[in-house]
């Protein structure tokens, strides 16, 4: 069994520079202690997350750790131009010696993505298309794609990640119906499920899964609940008084709702 950290890098009540430095020192301790991975949430315009550009913070993590794997949980794909994100993924994976974990999602907050003019109702369609583009760009010398949201013709792709064909994909599951997408696309998961009943389709996932990744070489994998690539997240809040915790939670929860 391996252990990882899921972090929001939220408001710590200290100056921002101090918050970043203290968290980086803590991550150095994770590295020394032998933790497998560090996952960093992406939030915007809220004290829930003070790393709205996770790649910037993770570039510091790459330089201050030696064995810890790391990545966003998740990149909000509808907020990124795929070409820029392809370059960032390659840089972070190369700078870390192949330790980058590629977390993807559409975002849980319609308010946050709305600040960027993104239609939350169509987020899943744009997310799916963006992921297709990024995987093509990471694995081909030139990118050609024609979709509803993105169109490219023969764009050169000189940068490549160290991990081939690309860094491992990670996905956050907050609703039972998204389990089937994760299984079908053969991705690693962090779960936030509140459900205790069996999830329809999850049992099917324990059988052969579609070979969606190029590195699967068209061989089906088995979905194995409890293996290192399937993690359950537990979030805790610590404050001097119960009222402070409740007040903080009430200030942030309205910005979020269950979504892929």
pLDDT computed for residue 218 by the predictor:
34
The secondary structure of 65-98 as a DSSP string is -SS-EEEES-EEGGGS-HHHHHHHHHHHHHHTTS
Return d(Cα 130, Cα 164) in angstroms, integer: 19
Q: Where are the domains of the chain?
A: 4-255
Range picked from 21-30, 108-117, 177-186 for highest mean pLDDT: 21-30
Residue 156 has pLDDT above 70, yes or no: yes
Residue 159 has pLDDT above 90, yes or no: yes
Average pLDDT for residues 93-111, to the nearest whole number?
94
**Structural tokens at position 222:** 């088995």
Reduced to 3 states (helix: H, G, I; strand: E, B; else coil), residue 37 is strand
Residue 166 has pLDDT above 60, yes or no: yes
pLDDT band at 174 (very low <50, low <70, confident <90, very high): confident
Q: Which contiguous run of DSSP H or E holds residue 56?
A: helix 54-64
pLDDT band at 55 (very low <50, low <70, confident <90, very high): very high
Laid out side by side, the sheet with 75-76 consists of 75-76, 102-105, 169-173, 188-191, 230-232
Residue 220 has pLDDT above 50, yes or no: no
> Is the four-CA dihedral 69, 98, 187, 108 of positive or negative sign?
positive
pLDDT in tens, 61-72: 999 999 999 999
The answer to whether 27 touches 65, Cβ cutoff 8 Å, is: yes
- Fold classified for 4-255: TIM Barrel (3.20.20)
The residue ranking higher by pLDDT, 222 or 58, is: 58
């Amino acid at each position: 069994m391996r252990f990882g950290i899921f972090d929001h890098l939220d408001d710590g009540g200290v100056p921002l520079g101090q918050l970043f430095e203290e968290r980086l020192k803590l991550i150095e301790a994770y590295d020394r202690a032998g933790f497998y991975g560090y996952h960093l949430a992406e939030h915007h315009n809220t004290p829930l997350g003070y790393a709205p550009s996770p790649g910037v913070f993770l570039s510091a993590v790459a330089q201050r750790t030696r064995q810890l794997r790391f990545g966003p949980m998740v990149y909000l794909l509808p907020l990124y131009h795929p070409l820029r994100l392809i370059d960032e993924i390659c840089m972070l994976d190369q700078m870390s010696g192949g330790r980058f974990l590629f977390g993807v999602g559409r975002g849980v907050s319609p308010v946050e993505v709305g600040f960027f003019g993104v239609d939350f109702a169509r987020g899943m369609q744009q997310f799916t298309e963006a992921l297709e583009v990024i995987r093509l760009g990471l694995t081909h010398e030139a990118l050609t794609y024609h979709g509803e949201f993105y169109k490219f013709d023969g764009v050169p792709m000189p940068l490549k990640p160290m991990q081939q064909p690309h860094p491992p994909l990670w996905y956050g599951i907050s609703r039972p119906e998204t389990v089937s997408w994760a299984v079908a696309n053969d991705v690693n998961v962090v779960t936030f499920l509140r459900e205790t009943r069996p999830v329809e389709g999850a049992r099917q996932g324990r059988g052969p899964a579609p070979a969606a990744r190029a590195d699967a070489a068209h061989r089906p994998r088995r979905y194995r609940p409890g293996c290192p690539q399937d993690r359950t997240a537990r979030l805790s809040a610590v404050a001097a008084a119960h009222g402070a915790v409740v007040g903080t939670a009430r200030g942030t929860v309205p910005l979020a709702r269950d979504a892929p």
